[in-house]
Amino acid sequence: MRYQVKHTTTYKYAARVTHCYNLANLAPRNTNRQKCISSQIIVTPQAIHSNIRTDYFGNQRYHFEIQTAHSELSITAQSEIEIQEQRPGLDLDFGITYGDVLNRLREGISEDVIMAREFCLDSPMVRASEALADYARPSFELSRSLYSSVSELTSRIFNDFTYTPGFTTIATPLSEVLSHKKGVCQDFAHLQVGCLRAMGIPAMYVSGYMETLPPPGQEKLVGADATHAWIAYFSPDEGWIEFDPTNDVRAEGQHIVTAFGRDYYDVTPLKGVIFGGGKSPILEVSVDVSRQD
């Protein structure tokens, strides 16, 4: 399946920005199930200096510096991505058990297992806690397959939590999300990452897009898609497997990955330092995901 994604971010500042240094995580990376065919980033006003590089996590990071004074900054990333058909063979009840995974992780013999242990640790925005473990525990039994455990956890988050835009900000702590059972996709992804780590399972935060289909009989609206977030967990032999707690699905054909990280901090779509700009800029984001048949 081939997709085209157009993602435009616009900042409108209260005062002139004379100079800025920014960092964007907007160009999709390659993963074991997707390939980024092409990707182009257009910045207005024009950047005086820019470069793109592969970062620590294998993501594409775009650095740019603008010297032209401006009161509006817009960044458009336009990419074409090929998503491979999911390889079959993962069965809910037969894969490696949770108990075996814990042992394999502890022994740490193979390189991929050693390196995956990084994602068991606390990260800037996700700290494993007893409360998260308590929430996750009912789905985890040592003799049960890990895949089925994570799948159930995903469903439980989907059922227990209400998708409520505006209830949380990016600074809302996980404990609050857990007690109010409300949030958006970032919160649910962070929550599930925290739960998995609390249970000793390496987990990553995944940022990206999801193709949305209009209600039957209606035209799809341009720009109505959104950035999305979900998780990936690690299982020895099986590798990294993605689940989407916001939609209670395994992330596959319709999920387009931008970046992997320990949490949102590692994959923030756009950050940087500006000189000037005044207070509270207005942020506008528009995303279009279209299938290229």
Q: Does 67 bind other proteins (CB under 8 A)?
A: yes
* Stretch of 156-164, 180-188, 239-247, 265-273 lying at the interface with other proteins (CB under 8 A): 265-273
Least Cβ distance, residue 280 to other proteins (angstroms): 11
Cα four-point dihedral sign 126, 129, 133, 134: negative
SS (HEC) of 200-241: CCCEEEEEEEECCCCCCCCCCCCCEECEEEEEEEEECCCEEE
Q: How far is CA 11 from CA 61, 91, 261, in A?
A: 19, 46, 25
Least Cβ distance, residue 89 to other proteins (angstroms): 28
Burial 86-96 (b: 16+ CB within 10 A, else e): eeeeeeeeebb
Q: Does 72 bind other proteins (CB under 8 A)?
A: no
Burial 237-252 (b: 16+ CB within 10 A, else e): ebebbbbbbbbebbbb
Q: Does 173 bind other proteins (CB under 8 A)?
A: no
Q: Does 216 bind other proteins (CB under 8 A)?
A: no
Binder among 30, 37, 55, 104 for other proteins (CB under 8 A): 55
Binder among 111, 143, 215, 217 for other proteins (CB under 8 A): 111
Q: Does 63 bind other proteins (CB under 8 A)?
A: yes
Q: Does 270 bind other proteins (CB under 8 A)?
A: yes
Query: What is residue 189's three-state secondary structure?
Result: helix
Query: Binding mask 114-153 vs other proteins (x if CB under 8 A, - otherwise)?
Result: xx-xx-xxxxxx-x--------------------------
Pick the closer one to other proteins by CB: 223 or 278.
Answer: 278
Least Cβ distance, residue 13 to other proteins (angstroms): 10
Chain residues that interact with other proteins, rule: CB under 8 A: 11, 18, 20-23, 48-49, 51, 53, 55-57, 63, 65, 67, 108, 111, 114-115, 117-118, 120-125, 127, 170-171, 265-266, 268, 270-277, 281
